[in-house]
Structure 1
Amino acid sequence: MELRENVIIPLGYGKYVRSDKIVAIEPIEEERGPGRRTRVYIEDMKTPMIASRTENSILASIVEIPREVLEATAAMELLQDILDDLERIGPMLRASIKKEAELDLNKIEKRIEEILKHEIELESR
C-alpha cells in the first residue's frame, strides 16, 4: 500500500487533516461512541485529534487500497458501528423489541461479534 500524499482526509464533524501529516491512528477502546472512534496522531501536534471515523475508514482514505479490500473494510466498519449502537440498548428496551418485533438484539450482537472476531483472526495470519 502506498500513502496518498497531499490529500485532505476527513476525520468527521468538520475535522480534516492532510494525509501525509498523519503519523499514527489508534482505535479508541474505552469511552468509544459516536464522535469518538479513533485517536489520530498528527505531525507537530502534541495531542491526538479525536475522529468520529473508524481507524479502518481513515486508513482507507490515506492509502491506495484495492476496491475489494475497501468494500470489505466498509462492511466490517458498518458491523462495528451497528455493534457499538446495539451495546447502548438497555435490557428493558431489548426485551420490548424482542416481544414486539420478534427481533433478538442479543443474538444479532453475538453474531456480529463472531464475524468481527473471525475477521481479526484472518487479518493476524
Structure 2
Amino acid sequence: MEIRENVIIPLGYGKFVRSDKIIALEPIEEDRGPGRRTRVYVEQMCNPLIASRTETSVLANMVETPKEIMEANASLELLRDIYDDIHQIGPMLRKSIKKEANLDLGKIERRIEEILKHEIEFEKTQ
C-alpha cells in the first residue's frame, strides 16, 4: 500500500487532515461510540485528533486500494458502526423497541458479531 500524497481525508464531524501527514491510527477501546472511534496522530500536533470514523475507513482513504476492497471496507465499517451503536442501547429500551417495532436488537447484534468474526478469521488466512 502506498500513502496518497496531498489528499485531504475526512475524519468525521467536520475534521479533515492531509493523508500524508497522518503518522499513526489507534482504535479507541474504552468510551468508544458515536463520535469516538479512532485516535489520529498527525505530524507536528501534540495531541491526537479524535475521529468518528474507524481506523479501517481512515486508512482506506489514506491509501490507494482497488474499488472492490474499498466497497467491502465501507460495508464492514457500516456494520461496525451499527454494532457499536446497538451495543450501547440499554435493556429497557431494547424491550420497548422489540415490543413496539418487533425489532430484536439482540438478534441483530449477534448476527453482526458472527459476520465480523467471520471476516476477521478470513483476513487472518489471507
Which range, TM-score by smaller chain? Answer: over 0.9
4+ long deviations beyond 6 Å: none
Aligned to 1:22: 22
Aligned to 1:117: 117
Displacement of 1:54: 1.1
Letter in 1 for 2:57: S
Classify the secondary structure of the residue corresponding to 2:41: strand
Q: TM-score, normalised by structure 2?
A: 0.92
Aligned positions, number: 125
Classify the secondary structure of the residue corresponding to 1:61: helix
Q: TM-score, normalised by structure 1?
A: 0.93
Which has the higher mean CA deviation after the structures are superposed, 4-13 or 98-107? Answer: 98-107
Displacement of 1:98: 1.6
Aligned to 1:69: 69
Query: Equivalent pairs: percent with the same residue?
Result: 74
Classify the secondary structure of the residue corresponding to 1:40: strand
Classify the secondary structure of the residue corresponding to 2:74: helix
The 2-side partners of 1:97 and 1:29 are apart by 27
The 2-side partners of 1:6 and 1:114 are apart by 38
Which has the higher mean CA deviation after the structures are superposed, 91-100 or 68-77? Answer: 91-100
Letter in 2 for 1:27: P
Q: Is 1:58 the equivalent of 2:58?
A: yes
Aligned to 2:97: 97
* Structure 2 gap ranges (5+): none
Q: Is 1:34 the equivalent of 2:57?
A: no
Classify the secondary structure of the residue corresponding to 1:30: coil
Q: How large is the Cα RMSD of the aligned pairs?
A: 1.2
